[in-house]
Amino acid sequence: MPLDEEHHPDDVQQHLREVQELLARQKVVENLVHRQDMPRHELVEDLVHKQHVAELQNRLDELHPADIAFILEALPLDDRLFVWDLVKAERDGEILLEVSDAVRESLIETMAPEELRAAAETLDADELADLAPDLPPEVMLDVFQSLEGEEREQLRAAMSYPEGTVGALMDFDMVTVREDVTLEVVLRYLRRFDELPDHTDKLFVVDREGHLRGILTLEQLLINDPEKMVADVMRTETVISFEPADDADDAAQAFERYDLVSAPVVDGEERVIGRLTVADAVDFIREESEQEILSNAGLREEEDIYASVWDSVKNRWAWLAVNMVTAIIASRVIGAFEGSIEKLVALAALMPIVAGIGGNSGNQTITMIVRAIAIGQVEQSALRRLLKKEIGVALINGLLWGGFLGAMAWWLYGSWQLGAVMTSAMILNLLLAASAGVMIPMMRSRLGRDPALGGSVMITGLTDSGGFFIFLGLATIFLL
Amino acid sequence: MPLDEEHHPDDVQQHLREVQELLARQKVVENLVHRQDMPRHELVEDLVHKQHVAELQNRLDELHPADIAFILEALPLDDRLFVWDLVKAERDGEILLEVSDAVRESLIETMAPEELRAAAETLDADELADLAPDLPPEVMLDVFQSLEGEEREQLRAAMSYPEGTVGALMDFDMVTVREDVTLEVVLRYLRRFDELPDHTDKLFVVDREGHLRGILTLEQLLINDPEKMVADVMRTETVISFEPADDADDAAQAFERYDLVSAPVVDGEERVIGRLTVADAVDFIREESEQEILSNAGLREEEDIYASVWDSVKNRWAWLAVNMVTAIIASRVIGAFEGSIEKLVALAALMPIVAGIGGNSGNQTITMIVRAIAIGQVEQSALRRLLKKEIGVALINGLLWGGFLGAMAWWLYGSWQLGAVMTSAMILNLLLAASAGVMIPMMRSRLGRDPALGGSVMITGLTDSGGFFIFLGLATIFLL
C-alpha cells in the first residue's frame, strides 16, 4: 500500500490557489449566466455552475479544518462567505475555533442562531469557552442549558478563568489510571478506547479522590514489562504540573523549556482537574508574539486584511491619537524656541536629527530591557547595573555619532560653535534615551503593569520633546 | 508514595533566587577571608567556604539543564563563570545547547579545548551541528574524527543544510517498523528499548529500503487489538512529511496548524532520513518572533544583558547608522527650505507633526502587510485591493486628524491658510505612508527578499523626508 496522499508544508498555499481557481471559474460561469439571458442556454450554464460548486465542495470536504480556516482568512469577504456556505455544518465549530478573531466575527455575523447552536454543540467545554465571547448571549444560554451536568460544570469553570491564565487554556480530556494495577491492566484499559485525547503522551496516575500521585508516560508503559505495577514505573519526581490561576505565559515558557507535550492541571489540593497541551502552549506563544509585534506598531489587534476601511480605522486610531498628543507636545517645545530659530534657521534643519536618533536608540534600549524582564531575567536589583551599562553605550554612541554630526554641522554651516552644540545635544539626548529606556519598563514592571505596552510611544515622545528642548535650549544659551 | 517534588512554572525564578543567595553568602565568606589575614581563622573560613560551594553544587546538580541555562543567562559575568565551573562536566554539552548565542560565546571562551571536546562528545549529531559554529575549528575536527561512520554522516548531513531549512532542525532519533508484522511484535520490539526518543508519538512504517509507507501512532498501537497487522492500522492518508530543503518556517507553521508532535523527514525518493519534533518547531517559532521584535527595534541579535558595553555598541550600531543616513537626508530636505522657515517660523514647529504621524501610520500599514505576507495570505494579485483599502484608511485619517491639526494651527498662528496647508500636507503624507507601506513589503517579497527587514526604517525615512518636503513645499507655494 503506497502513501495515498502526502502533505508537504506548503500544501496549504496550493489548496488556497485551487480554491481561488475554482472560485474564479465559478464566477466566469455566473457572469455568462448573467450576460446571456437566452433561455436555451440557461439550463446548460446552470449545470456547469452546479458542477463547479460541487467540485469546490468536495475539495473543501477533504481539507483539514485549519486549512479551511487559512483559506477563509485569505479570501475577500464575498468569496469567504461563499466558501463558508459550502462548508459542512458539522465542521463549522472546529473551523470557527481556528480562524482569527476578526474573521470569526465576519463569519458569525452571517449565521442564524440555529446554525450557531448546532456548531457550538459539536465542541468540547474548553473549546466552547474560547468561542463564547463571540457568540450571541442567547445562543450561549441555549448551549449551556443543553449540556449535561459534568460538561456544564467544565464550561462554567473554563469561562471563569481570566484570559492569560492556565485555566483559560486547559482542556478536560485526559486519561487517568490507578497506581495499584499492572501495566498489562493499563494496556487492556486503553484498548477499550476508540481514540485517545490529542497529545496524550502521558497518563495521570491518581488516587481514589483524584489526587495526582505521579505520571505514567506512554514511553514507560511501552518499554517496561507489562507485569510491572504502575506504582513501580510511574514518575513521582520532578512532575511538572500547573494550577488554573498560574500565568499562561509562565506555563508556555515551561513547555518550551522542558519540552513538554502535555501536563496535568491540579487544584489547590493536588486533585487533577484538567490538562494543558503543547498545542495550547504553541498557540499562546504565537498569539503573544503577534500581539507584541502589533502593539509595537500601534495596532490594537490582528486585522482581517479584508476588513472594511472603517474597521481598520477603528483598530488604528487609539495609538495614532497618542502619537498625535506626543507630536503636539514636541511641536509646542519647538514653538517655545521660535525666536531662536528665526535668528538661526539652521537649527530647524538640525533638530530632527537629534530627536530621531535619540528615539531610535531609546527604542533599542527599551526593547532589550522589556525582553529581559519578560523572560524573567532582570530583578529590580539589577537596575543600577543595567543603567550603568546603557549609559556607557549611550556615551560611546553620543561621542561617535554626535561627534560626526557636529563635524557635519560645522562643515555645512561654518560654525564650530553650532557643531559643538550639536554634539553636546546628541550626547545628552542619548543619555536621556538610555535612562528612560531602562527606567520606564522597570518602573512599569515594579508597579505590576505590562512593561512593554506603549513603551515605544512613550520613549519616542520623550526623546522627541527632550531632543528639541535640549538642542534648542543649548543653542539659545550658547549661540544667540 | 506521595509526589516527592513538584514543579510549578515559576519555579525557575525560585531556583535563580536560591543560587543568587548562595552566591552572595559565598562572597561574604570570601570577603572575610580576604580581610582577616590572621592564620588561626583561615582554616575555619576555608571550611565554611567549601561548605557553601558544595551546597551550591548540589543544588545545581538537581536542576534541569534548561534551568541552569536560565540561571547562567541571568547572572553577571563573574558569577556566571563561577557557577559554570561548578556544573558537572558531562552536563556542559546540553547546557551549552540551551543558552542563547551571546551567553554561549561567553562560556565557550573560558573552556579549554579538552573540556569542549568532552562536552561535544556527549551530544547527538544534530545537536553537534547546532553547536558547531561556536566551537573552535580544531575542536570540531577532533570531534568529527572521533565519530563513527553513521554518526559522522549524520553530522555532515546536518551541517550541510543552511539555517532556516528543515534539514538544519531535524534530528536522527526515530523508531521505524515494518508493515507486515502484528502490533504484538511492535510492542515486544519496543520493550527492548531502554528509552524512546523524546517526543515519540508515532513510529514510522518503512519498507526494506527505508521508504516511508505510513505512520503508526502510539495511540493506534495502544487502542488496537495486538493481533492486528501494522499494515491494517497504520495511516497512509494525509501523512505529513517534510524534505530537508523545505523552509523551516513553513514546517513550523504546519506543526502549529496540524498540532503535530513529530513528523518524518524524507529525501527525494521518500526514504525516511530524519525527524522533526514540536520542540524544534517551538524553538524556531520563538526565535523567529524574537528576531522580528529585535530587528524591528534595530538590534542585530539577542543581547546578553550583561554583555560588555562594547559588545552592545556593536550589536546596535548598524541600524543607528542607517537611521542617521535617513535623518541626514530629512535634515537636508529641511535645509532646502530654510528661506521659507526664516519667513514663517511656525513651519519649523509644525513640520515634525506631519512627519511623525506619517511615520506612525506607515508603520501600522507595513506591519499589517508584512504579517499577512508572512503567513502566506497575500498573493501579489491582492496588491491592488490592499492598496485601495489602505488609501481609504489614509484618506479618512488624513481628513480627521489633518482637519483637527489644521484647525489647531489656524487657532495657534491665526492663519487659516497655514491651517489648510497643514491639513493638505497631513493627507498627502498619510497617502504616501499608506502606498509605501503596501508597496515596500510587496516589492521585497516579489524580489524574493524578506519583506520585514528594515521596512520600518525605510518607511520612517520616507515619511520624514516626504513629510518635510510636502509640508514645506506646499507652504512655500501657497503662503509665501
- The tens digit of pLDDT for each residue in A268-318 reads 999 999 999 999 999 898 888 888 888 777 777 777 777 788 888 888 888
> Distance from A145 to chain B by nearest Cα, in Å?
31
What is the DSSP track for A321-348?
Answer: HHHHHHHHHHHHHHHHTHHHHHH-THHH
Q: What is the pLDDT of residues A408-464, one digit of tens each?
A: 999 999 999 999 999 999 999 999 999 999 999 888 888 887 777 777 888 999 999
Which residue has cell 518636503? B469
A159 and A186 part of one domain? no
Average of pLDDT values for B413-438? 95
| pLDDT at residue B336 in the model | 94
C-alpha neighbours within 13 Å on the C-beta side of residue B139: 21
Smallest CA-to-CA distance from B329 within B457, B479, B477 is with B457
pLDDT value at residue B287: 85
Phi and psi angles of residue B380, each rounded to the nearest 5 degrees, phi first: -55, -30
- How many CB atoms neighbour CB A46 within 10 A? 12
Q: Cα–Cα distance between A23 and A56 in angstroms, integer?
A: 8
Q: Do A16 and B257 touch (CB under 8 A)?
A: no
Q: What's the burial of A431, exposed, middle or buried (CB within 10 Å: 0-12/13-18/19+)?
A: buried
Give CA–CA dist B275/B255, Å, rounded: 13
Coil, strand or helix: which one is A266? strand
Q: Is B297 among the domain residues?
A: no
When the pLDDT of each residue in chain B is averaged and rounded to a whole number, the result is 86
B24 and B100 part of one domain: yes
Residue with more model confidence, A33 or A301: A301
Provide the CB-side half-sphere exposure for B199 (13 A, CA): 25
Which of these, B242, B266, B260, B206, lies nearest to A2 by C-alpha position?
A: B206
Mean pLDDT (whole number) for B106-128: 88
At B458-480, the pLDDT tens digits run 899 999 999 999 999 999 999 98
Domain check: are B188 and B71 in the same one? no
Name the more confident of A227 and B141: A227
Q: A119-154, pLDDT tens digit by residue?
A: 888 888 888 888 888 888 888 888 888 888 888 888
d(CA B416, CA B472): 16
* Cβ atoms within 10 Å, residue B157: 18
H/E run at residue B73: helix B65-74
- Comparing CA positions, the residue from B293, B369, B283 lying closest to residue A293 is B293
Q: Is residue B253 part of a domain?
A: yes
- Count Cβ atoms below 10 Å from residue A2 Cβ, excluding itself: 11
Search chain A and give the residue with CA nearest B242.
A8
Domain CATH code at residue A51: 1.25.60.10
What's the DSSP call for residue A30? H
Asked whether residue B330 falls in the same domain as residue B415, the answer is yes
CB contact under 8 Å between B293 and A294, yes or no, is: no
Kindly list the distances between the CA atom of residue B269 and the CA atoms of B213, B231, B265, B378, in Å, as whole numbers in the listed order. 12, 21, 11, 32
- Answering whether pTM is above 0.80, one says yes
pLDDT band at A361 (very low <50, low <70, confident <90, very high): very high
Task: Report how far residue B180's alpha carbon sits from residue B191's, in angstroms, rounded to the nearest whole number.
Answer: 19
The predicted-structure confidence for B247-268, as pLDDT tens digits, reads as follows: 998 899 899 888 999 999 999 9
Q: Model confidence at B206, in pLDDT bands (50, 70, 90)?
A: very high
Q: Report whether pLDDT(B290) > 90.
A: no
Give the separation between CA A402 and CA B327, rounded to whole angstroms: 13
Q: Is a pLDDT exceeding 70 seen at residue B48?
A: no
Top residue of A99, A202, A292, A312 to mutate, by most chain B CBs within 10 Å, is A312
Q: Each residue of B317-341: pLDDT tens digit?
A: 888 888 899 999 999 999 999 999 9
Q: Do residue B214 and residue A1 have CB atoms under 8 angstroms apart?
A: yes
How many Å apart are CA A166 and CA A274, to the nearest integer? 10
Q: Judge whether residue B32 has pLDDT over 80.
A: no
Same domain, A39 and A151: yes
Residues 381-440 of A with CB under 8 A from B: 382, 385-386, 389, 392-393, 396-397, 401, 404-405, 408, 412
A302 within some domain = no
Chain A, 146-165: which have a CB under 8 Å from a chain B CB? none
- Kindly state the average pLDDT of the residues B402-407: 96
- The predicted pLDDT at position A10 comes to 55
Return the residue matching grid coordinates 545628552: A428
Reading the block at residue A79, the C-alpha cell is 468569496
**CATH code: domain of residue A409:** 1.10.357.20
Domain boundary among A163, A198, A233: A163
Cell numbers 496588491 label which residue? B383
Asked if residue B462 and residue B321 are part of one domain, the reply reads: yes
Q: How far apart are CA B173 and CA B275, in angstroms?
A: 7
Mean pLDDT of B221-227: 95
Q: Are residues A213 and A133 in the same domain?
A: no
Confidence of residue A74 (pLDDT cuts 50, 70, 90): confident
Q: How many CA atoms lie within 13 A of B48 on its CB side?
A: 15
- End position of a domain, from candidates A100, A130, A163: A163
Would you state the pLDDT for residue A29? Answer: 55
Write out pLDDT tens, residues B163-202. 889 999 999 988 999 999 999 999 999 999 999 999 999 9
- Residue at B399 is within a domain: yes
Q: Strand pairing partners for B6?
A: A239
B354 and B458 in one domain?
yes
User: How large is the angle between the packed helices B346-374 and B416-446, nearest 10 degrees?
Assistant: 30
Strand pairing report for A202-206 and A176-177: parallel
Q: Can you list the alpha helix ranges (DSSP code H) found in B75-112? A: 77-86, 92-98, 101-109
* A340 and A457 both lie in a single domain: yes
**ipTM of this model?**
0.82
Query: What does the radius of gyration of chain B's CA atoms come to, in whole angstroms?
Result: 31
Residues B30, B158 share a domain: yes
Q: How confident is the model at residue A227 (pLDDT cuts 50, 70, 90)?
A: very high
| Beta carbons of A393 and B316 less than 8 Å apart | yes
User: How far are the Cα atoms of A21, A29, A52, A336, B36 from residue A45, in angstroms, in the given order?
Assistant: 18, 7, 11, 73, 101
Share of chain A above pLDDT 70, in %: 92
Residue at a domain's end among B236, B263, B278? B278
Q: What is the 3-state secondary structure (H, E, C) of B391-436?
A: HHHHHHHHHHHHHHHHHHHHHHHCCHHHHHHHHHHHHHHHHHHHHH
The pLDDT value given to residue B163: 85
Least CB-CB distance to B364: which of A2, A298, A341?
A298
Is pLDDT larger for residue B285 or for residue B25?
B285
Q: What is the DSSP letter of B453?
A: T
A462 membership: H or E segment, kind and range:
helix A455-479
Nearest CA distance, B62 vs chain A (angstrom): 10
For residue A5, being part of any structural domain is answered with no
Range scoring the smallest mean pLDDT among A253-257, A426-430, B9-13: B9-13
Query: What nine digits make up the cell of A29?
Result: 460561469
Residue B37 is predicted with a pLDDT of 47
Name the amino acid, one letter, at A467: G
Quick check: A7 and B240 CB within 8 A?
yes
Please, is B407 exposed, middle or buried when counting C-beta atoms within 10 Å of its C-beta (0-12, 13-18, 19+)? Answer: middle
pLDDT for A189: 96
| Probe site for chain A from B11, B193, B219 (most A CB atoms < 10 A) | B219
Is residue B171 in some structural domain?
no
Residues A313, A350 within the same domain? yes
Q: Is the pLDDT of residue B304 over 90?
A: no
pLDDT band at A2 (very low <50, low <70, confident <90, very high): very low
Q: Are residues B244 and B330 in the same domain?
A: no
Is B191 in the A-facing interface, judged by CB distances under 8 Å? Answer: yes
Q: What is the pLDDT of residue B35?
A: 46
Q: Is residue B1 part of a domain?
A: no
Alpha carbons A299 and B370: distance in angstroms, whole number: 13
Q: What would the mean pLDDT of B288-296 be, rounded to a whole number?
A: 80
- B116 at A interface, C-beta within 8 A: no
Any domain includes B292: no
Number of domains observed in the structure of chain B: 3
d(Cα A235, Cα A221) in Å, to the nearest integer? 11
3 state SS of A162: coil
Which range marks the domain in which residue A100 is found? 11-163
Does residue A88 carry a pLDDT above 90?
no
How far is C-alpha A111 from the chain's CA centre? 26
| Kind plus residue range of the DSSP H or E element containing B32 | helix B11-35
